């Protein structure tokens, strides 16, 4: 039984499924949201290979991928905003606790 997908398409599909799976588990587990992420710049050879791959994909599929990435980007921005708010609240709490009582703070 043959799936009809080439090795590159299978790899892309597996990568996409892995990303979706990790995104869903990250949504369920708040501790995984605090892990750092490393940006990796693709090489020129990878860019050329990616362009060839893109030219083989239908317009509908490209639009679908774009919309998924756009939605993921929005979710990441929302998450970053939430984390920034948590940091601001934490800093305010630390400032409040470290402000000495002799300076006029009523406990």
pLDDT for residue 2 = 46
The dihedral through the CA atoms of 43, 44, 50, 54 has a sign that is: positive
pLDDT band of residue 81 (cuts 50, 70, 90) is very high
pLDDT digits (tens, 9 = 90+) for 46-66: 888 888 887 888 999 999 999
Alpha-carbon gap, residue 79 to 62, rounded angstroms: 25
DSSP string, 5-50: --HHHHHHHHHHHHHHHHHHHHHH-GGGGGS-----PPPHHHHHHH
Average pLDDT (75-100) is 87
Q: pTM of the predicted model, to two decimals?
A: 0.44
């Amino acid at each position: 039984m043959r799936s009809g997908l080439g090795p590159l398409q299978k790899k892309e599909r597996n990568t996409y499924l892995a990303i979706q799976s990790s995104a869903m588990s990250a949504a369920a587990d708040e501790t995984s949201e605090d892990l750092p992420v490393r940006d990796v710049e693709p090489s020129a050879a990878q860019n050329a290979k990616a362009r060839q791959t893109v030219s083989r994909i239908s317009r509908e599929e490209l639009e679908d991928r774009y919309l998924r990435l756009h939605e993921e980007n929005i979710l990441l921005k929302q998450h970053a905003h939430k984390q920034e708010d948590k940091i601001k609240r934490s800093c305010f709490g630390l400032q409040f606790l470290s402000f000495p009582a002799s300076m006029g703070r009523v406990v």
